[in-house]
Amino acid sequence: MERSARALWLRAPGEYEIRDLTLPARGDDDVLVRALFSGVSRGTEALVYRGGVPVNQRATMRAPFQEGEFPAPVKYGYLGVGTVEEGPAALRGRTVFCLYPHQTRYVVPAGAVTPVPDDVPPARAVLAGTVETAVNALWDAAPLVGDRIAVVGAGMVGCGVAAVLAGFPGVEVQLVDVDPGRAAVAETLGVGFASPADAAGECDLVVHTSASEAGLVRALELLAPEGEVLEMSWYGDRAVRLPLGENFHSRRLTVRSSQVGMVSPARRSRRTFSDRLALALRLLADPRYDALVTGASAFEQLPRVLPAVLGGEPSGLLHRVIYGDG
């Protein structure tokens, strides 16, 4: 089997390139995966692209199969779907998801891949990391039947959270964003939509994903007394100011963080990372999630295309990368 591959590297902040490489020999417990698709996580990869990972967070921000160090040169990414070409018999020929950077072929331990269910199209499976993040957040938030919930920020993660919440019985979900174009996505997902100014208040729970100071301030304003903001945004090296006077104390409001790097304490003793990812992949049997993919390009185009994608031109959700005959 040919041992060559090509990988996307950030040569320096703001500069991508594709590098040729030779794959390592495969061990008995490894798999060789040929990439079909990968996904660009706009928020996180934009932070990496501009060199904005804080020094004290560089170890925490490492992707599982990252090479190089922040700020650059670095090979980064974590939403890969491919076909197992070599490996244990139970995995050969299977479509799998792997937390791997943008690369045409790769060798990883067999335990690092998760089979994609037969009823989930490989092209949709690149959303597994996004839905896994949403699952973990809702384990943290523990919404109740009949809750009034706002999701502030209709980016990829926010839309993923809204999509999962749409399946909860009796909840009222509104997706809140400054971009009126997100209303069509909300309709497909089966949730309401509002601009920040028009969003309904008195919410039991607000999930904040906009990564903006204004969005977090508005999230607090939308809470009912004793309500909670679940903060999912990653601000990198940016400071955020909050009005913790005004109604914050008198209404006994809460702001709590959620991050996918650890399994939620609510399930940590009974669920593993693998369990969480397998659940996310099962949820992706629902075709509504296709609304979260808003752009695509071939792998070889990435050095030219990604600067615009990560700069928000055009505004979109997940950008899907296509490899060969994917």
Taking the alpha carbons of 104, 107, 108, 113 in that order, is the dihedral positive or negative? positive
Q: What is the pTM of this model?
A: 0.92
User: pLDDT for 11-46, tens place per residue?
Assistant: 999 999 999 999 999 999 999 999 999 999 888 899
Q: How many whole angstroms separate alpha carbon 161 and alpha carbon 155?
A: 10
Judge whether 41 lies within some domain. yes
Q: Is residue 22 located within the same domain as residue 105?
A: yes
Range of 36's domain? 4-127+284-322
DSSP 3-state of 181: coil
What are the Cα distances from residue 21, in Å, to 5, 8, 182, 290, 321? 5, 11, 40, 33, 19
> b/e for 182-221, b at 16 or more Cβ within 10 A?
bbebbebbebbbbebeebeeebbbbbbbbbbeebbbbbbb
Question: What's the CATH number where 16 sits?
Answer: 3.90.180.10
Same domain for 120 and 18: yes
Three-point CA angle 142, 148, 149, nearest 5° = 65
Cα 208 from Cα 27, distance rounded (Å): 43
Kindly state whether residue 52 falls inside one of the protein's structural domains. yes
Closest CA to 285 of 98, 95, 118: 118
Per-residue pLDDT tens for 178-234? 999 999 999 999 999 999 999 999 999 999 999 899 999 999 999 999 999 999 998
